[in-house]
């Protein structure tokens, strides 16, 4: 090999070596740039996973009244946490795994969108059911109020009908008699009380034989003729009476007379008396009268 050929070979080798050095430097530069780019992409991917994990945390705080959906959300939330942890441990230079984790992220997001749709549908359904429940409660309240009003009205009507069917004594006059049934005004000579009364016309009252009871209260508050065997039904019990008289009532105005005879040993007091009339279990008239000395 002559000197000229050797120089040419050396020159060629020098050029090749220089080229290889320059290419190696270029490759390292590109590799560094690629690693930097992958590091940035990895950090961005981590942020996206973290945002997704936060969204799943938000779903867990919601009142989702569906056990199956709640269980699926919990599983996907754990899946996101596992993938995030794997991503953090993956080197930035592992481009293939990072790309796979990026695809996993897209899949999880698609699943989450479907869950969001289901949650929105559940919330809408719950809102509608809540509104319907409120409407039903309001309707029930109105029905109860109406029933209460009807019950009150029926009670009032029943009371009105009861009152309308009651007899009523519109007037009562007293005549005091002596032992010979002659009129007298002297208290010491009075042995009998005569009451002339008028029962008003009432076509709603059931006609027929009726027992008219009277209670006469003396000035000292005692009941005239009180006897434990002389009782009649009134309200929820029985009370004593002074006299009783049977009448035939036909619905028209009725004029009647009843008597209270004093016992032989019964003194006649001067002063103010009251007589109360009862029929069919109702108080139908009350009148005061006076016996003077």
Answer whether 0.85 is exceeded by the pTM.
no
Distance CA 231, CA 290 (A): 26
Tell me the domain boundaries of the chain: 3-127, 169-291
pLDDT tens for 68-109 read: 666 666 777 677 677 768 767 777 667 777 777 777 777 777
pLDDT tens for 2-41 read: 666 766 776 667 666 766 666 665 556 555 556 566 677 7
* Res 236 pLDDT > 80: yes
* 241, 224 Cβ separation under 8 angstroms: no
Q: What is the structure's pLDDT at 23?
A: 63
Tell me the C-alpha to C-alpha distance, in Å, between residue 94 and each of 23, 39, 81.
Answer: 23, 10, 20
Average pLDDT over residues 257-268: 93
- ∠ CA(268), CA(274), CA(275), 5° rounding? 100
CATH architecture label of 169-291: Sandwich (2.60)
The full 3-state SS of the chain, as one line of letters, equals CCHHHHHHHHHHHHHHHHHHHHHHHHHHHHHHHHHHHHHHHHHHHHHHHHHHHHHHHHHHHCCCCCHHHHHHHHHHHHHHHHHHHHHHHCCCCCHHHHHHHHHHHHHHHHHHHHHHHHHHHHHHHHHHHHHHHHHHHHHHHHHHHHHHHHHHHHHHHHHHHHHHHCCCEEEEEEEEECCCCCECCCHHHCCEEEEEEEECCCCCCCCEEEEEEEEEECCCCCECCCCCCCEEEECCEEEECCEEEEEEECCCCEEEEEEEECCCCCCCCCEEEEEEEEECCEEEEEEEEEECC
Give the chain's mean pLDDT.
Answer: 79
Q: What is the structure's pLDDT at 213?
A: 97
Q: What percent of the chain has pLDDT over 90?
A: 34
pLDDT tens for 156-173 read: 444 444 455 689 999 999
């Amino acid at each position: 090999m002559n000197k000229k050929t050797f120089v040419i070979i050396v020159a060629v080798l020098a050029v090749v070596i220089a080229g290889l050095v320059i290419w190696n430097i270029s490759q390292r530069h590109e590799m560094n740039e690629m690693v930097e780019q992958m590091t940035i992409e990895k950090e961005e991917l981590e942020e996206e996973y973290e945002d997704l994990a936060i969204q799943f945390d938000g779903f867990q705080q919601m009142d989702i009244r569906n056990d199956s959906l709640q269980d699926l959300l919990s599983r996907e939330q754990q899946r996101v946490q596992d993938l995030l942890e794997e991503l953090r441990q993956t080197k930035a230079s592992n481009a293939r795994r990072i790309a796979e984790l990026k695809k996993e992220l897209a899949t999880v997001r698609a699943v989450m969108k479907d869950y969001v749709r289901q949650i929105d549908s559940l919330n809408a359904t719950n809102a509608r059911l809540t509104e319907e429940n409120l409407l039903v409660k309001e309707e029930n309240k109105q029905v109860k109020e109406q029933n209460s009003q009807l019950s009150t009205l029926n009670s009032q009507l029943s009371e009105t009908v009861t009152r309308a069917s009651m007899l009523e004594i519109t007037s009562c006059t007293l005549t005091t008699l002596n032992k010979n049934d002659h009129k007298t005004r002297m208290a010491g000579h009075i042995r009998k009380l005569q009451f002339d009364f008028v029962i008003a016309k009432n076509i709603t009252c059931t006609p027929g034989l009726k027992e008219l009871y009277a209670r006469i209260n003396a000035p000292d508050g005692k009941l005239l003729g009180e006897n434990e065997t002389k009782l009649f039904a009134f309200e929820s019990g029985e009370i004593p009476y002074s006299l009783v008289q049977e009448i035939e009532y036909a619905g028209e105005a009725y004029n009647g007379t009843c008597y209270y005879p004093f016992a032989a040993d019964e003194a006649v007091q001067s002063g103010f008396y009251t007589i109360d009339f009862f029929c069919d279990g109702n108080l139908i008239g009350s009148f005061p009268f006076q016996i003077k000395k």
